[in-house]
Structure 1
Amino acid sequence: MRLLTLLVLVLHAVQMETQEKVSAYAGENVTLASGAKNGQSLVRIEWSVYGNTTWIATLHNGFVNTDRHDQFQKRLALNTRSGDLTIYHLTSKDAMTYTVEIIDSNGEDNRKKIELEVKQRLQVPTIEKIDISATQEGCFIALNCSSSEKDVNFSWQVSPPSMASWSTKNGSSYIFVLTNSKQGLLFTCNSTKGDKSAHQDFSAGCDVFTEELSHLRNRFIIPFYIGIVLGILITSVLIFCCKIVICNWRGRQNLKREAAVSSP
């Protein structure tokens, strides 16, 4: 009978401690659930790390303390109703096992372990313009996509869909598009590494060179150049005429002076 009672107590104690795994990304916030039941009135809460030897957030005698550990200074919030702990601005150092022990007003003691995994997001790739120009064939666009991450795979999307070719070399991906669309194109460069992914968008376009545009250009450019030539010719003629008028006037003045000198 005593052995049965002891076995029941041991099983009950085991049931009071649970364990789970939580994942979150670096730089974000995460809330670790204490496992308290709805309506349970908590009188004592203790969150700890390093094998339940170092408190980081507690509720003792109605007083909350979330600044017990240097690593978590100003980054913790303890919900005294649920016992949940929120960690702000996660870093890779926060990846560890957390233990929470809660005691309610009935003296019921529960303990829970939470293994926190802090994942790193893939860095967003960068798109750079190589060339954007209008030709007789259409709008030519060349872009380069690169990432600060190593060993990533690239892919491209173009909207509206257009004929494009792209290739990847030395950690960069190049795309070349020739389009007659008068609308700008939206390019999306996707980078993936394992189960992580990131993307960057880039809008590009140019005035498409068409026959109509060519005729319109000739219609205004040719008269423009003709006007410049005519202007130069007219100016030259005017200068030449002015020189003749000035020379004639000076000749008459010289004749008058000579006549005045020779007269008695």
Structure 2
Amino acid sequence: MTIRLDDLPLRDDLRGLTPYGAPQAPLPVALNVNENTHPVPREVADDILDAIGRALGEINRYPDREFRELREGFAEYLRHGLVADQIWAANGSNEVLQHVLQAFGGPGRRAFGFAPTYSMYPLLTRATGAEWVSGSRGADYTVDAVSAVDQIAAADPDIVFLCAPNNPTGTPMSLEVIEAAYEATRGIVIVDEAYFEFAPRTAPSALSLLPGRERLLVSRTMSKAFAFAGARVGYLAADPAVIDALR
């Protein structure tokens, strides 16, 4: 007897949801998933292979559960005076965002973002039992500080997602808007900077706003600028107390 999905004791709030996934095809350029078209440089790949070879000598042992070396490396890359205790990482930035929702979202709570934006935000929100509320952008896809404050105040969310630059529109978001959004909510504000490395070199990062803002989180990914999509590595910077919550 073949069982159907409808026959399983699936959570009611998950019924009818469509799994996330962009169509995959063997094309040299896949714009629908925003892959980096340039492979990892050969010398970098060789260094990675050497490191894997050394690690295999102790593959029978569990790894450092705090992945301290990786977190130290990300802190050094991000600068802004960050240290390893302010860094979290996971299997891609989607899992990082899922950890945030597991810690600060869930049943009876609400997450908010300005549509159109990254389609995983509502999916991850609903999958972790929280409610998703969509805000709106201007005709040019921007969000100004006044509009951000008004919409966030009306939604009263527990988590606010800000994508900067925005996916899929590429629209930047000023630090003024991020600061205003932070002050407008009592909840967590996460700035998704997955495409920050593609912004102008003079563009400021929300990382500069972290000091004194314990509810502000900034996420990044290795998938885009670093051509490491297949490795599934995402990470986040925040106050050490937030990192403890995610742990």
Q: How high is the TM-score relative to the length of structure 2?
A: 0.19
Q: How high is the TM-score relative to the length of structure 1?
A: 0.18
Structure with the higher helix share, 1 or 2: 2
Structure with more relative contact order (C-alpha pairs < 8 Å, separation 6 or more): 2
Larger gyration radius, structure 1 or structure 2? 1
